[in-house]
Chain A
């Protein structure tokens, strides 16, 4: 018997439904809390990288999946966050707890600025503008050596907090997974509030949305700013993971990989973005013998998914679940 019938709006809004939903969430929380103290260091590090990429993918999905604004320059926002945090904590000696939010805010400011031309540009033109932004950030970082350290790179000091017995990997894990959990929760709340509804309305028809009283200027730039904030926060964590920044880490190809995450996982879906981040981060590591195959696999996967299942792996999973819950029907 199918029991997931929703009778009230509050039930539809609820993030976690039913006993098994709460049980799964609790199991996940316990597993993630125990992992850094039980698992070997490289697994802790890998999970942290997944969490960082998940933050970027969720942010990008808010922009591309929900609001329908394609960004091929997300590596630029990540780079801005990483360098802001690196310069503030490294050169100026500020605390990590100042540098981290600042990284997100500076990236959000740039997101707002990129969002301004988005008010006039739609579709392919916007894609080109964001692509140009991503490349321009990379170019500026490569050439403005006094700011970025150029090709020599910028060392990033480690964020110190908590008991002294924590290892570097454990600190990174706490920051990355904690940050990811917080930001994913925020993203869920955003998408089920009036802001998220406005984003979706914008995507489906901007004229109709405007007629319904949605302020296009505000929500389009807000979508860019929020998405860039996520990327900037993740960029700061990226700096913590690598402890050394160079412009080559933030090329056009990274932007395409971020894009691949949300397409493979599922557009306009937060679990989809997380699934995509897991796959795109883990797969190249596990297939290290077949490293050359990785771009081919992702490229083909994108084409096949668009041809066969535009809603991504999460969409496919939902369909499978629906098939079984309603089975003999």
Chain B
């Protein structure tokens, strides 16, 4: 029983991360039908930016590479990193994606692939390919014990921060005028434009929001995965899997998909095979796409030829 509870806790923690990544992907997909392959690399860039800012705020350390930062060094660094990343994502929409000539689906996917490649190269060039430790204000060795179940401080903080972000996003999309405009644009672009919604600004805002979500995911993943240019590849692919599982056009679906995937993966790793844990996500994707392409909560997929 303790094992089971432990696997569930672990699954929910990683599931929160997957869900955050999936939210960023779904947010963009449902508003502009763009599948953003650069999402993981945007997150990586944000994590490295945050890393440099925290180091800068820490000043010349007595011990090189102190692994803990105080909240006063961490929070401003993170805020700046998230803001910069969001601005970059919005700028990418305005400067690159909108003027692209080949505005077909293939064209737009290819452009985000190009961005992914370029960003990944940029991160490797600036920060180097070696692994770095992210200075985080919460220790990753201290744990809580609940009747034999071990919960690390970092895992708990990650889950709490993730859930907070999800709730904030929900409130923004469902309870504000901007959120209403975002939903309108996602539902019917032409009608929304006819009603005077500035669709380009909404798209740029959506890109910025998705970039900020990606940045948050990257920063939250950093203490677990450590910093290296390929750190977000696995969470990004899992986030994709979670998005497909939950439905590419459903925000609650992304969160549900993230948690489900995290749980299934954790249980599979615990009881069946640790080595094939990562392959499982892709088997789930392929199975899901064959059985119910619209996902658990999605509604979009309609056409069969």
Contact = CB atoms under 8 A, between A and B. Distances in A.
Interface of A: 64, 68, 70, 72, 117, 119-125, 127-129, 131-133, 135-136, 139-140, 143, 206-207, 210, 216, 252, 256, 259-260, 263, 267, 292-303, 306-308, 310
B256 interface: no
B248 interface: yes
B305 A302 contact: no
A148 to B, nearest CB: 13
A310 B109 CA distance: 13
A131 B282 CA distance: 9
Contacts of A260: 114, 117
A283 to B, nearest CB: 13
Contacts of A135: 237, 278-279, 282
Contacts of A296: 117-118, 121-122, 125
Contacts of B116: 256, 299
Contacts of B276: 139-140, 143
Interface in B117-145: 117-122, 124-125
Given A124-B29, A143-B276, A252-B233, A298 B117 contact: yes
Interface residues of B, number: 48
15 contacts: A72-B113, A125-B248, A128-B285, A131-B240, A135-B237, A135-B278, A135-B279, A139-B276, A140-B276, A140-B279, A143-B279, A299-B114, A299-B121, A303-B96, A307-B111
B107 interface: yes
A131 B240 CA distance: 10
Nearest to B278: A139
Contact of A299 (B115, B244, B289, B290): B115
A183 to B, nearest CB: 24
Interface string B261-305: 000000000000001101101110110011001000000010111
| Dominant secondary structure of chain B at its interface with chain A | helix
Contacts of B240: 128, 131
Given A64-B106, A252-B233, A306-B114, 9 more contacts: A117-B286, A125-B293, A135-B278, A135-B279, A216-B305, A256-B116, A259-B113, A296-B125, A303-B111
Given A135-B237, A143-B275, A308 B110 contact: no
Given A128-B240, A128-B244, A139-B278, A306 B110 contact: yes
Given A143-B276, A303-B96, A306-B101, A120 B114 contact: no
A292 B290 contact: no
A300 B114 contact: yes
B35 interface: yes
A278 B155 CA distance: 47
Given A121-B293, A139-B278, A143-B275, A302 B107 contact: no
B198 to A, nearest CB: 23
A129 B289 contact: yes
Contacts of B113: 72, 256, 259, 302
Contacts of B279: 135-136, 139-140, 143
A303 B124 contact: no
B99 interface: yes
Given A259-B113, A296-B118, A306-B111, A207 B305 contact: yes
A207 B304 CA distance: 10
B118 A306 contact: no
A121 B302 CA distance: 10
Contact of B118 (A72, A133, A267, A295): A295
A136 B124 CA distance: 25
A310 B110 CA distance: 10
A211 to B, nearest CB: 11
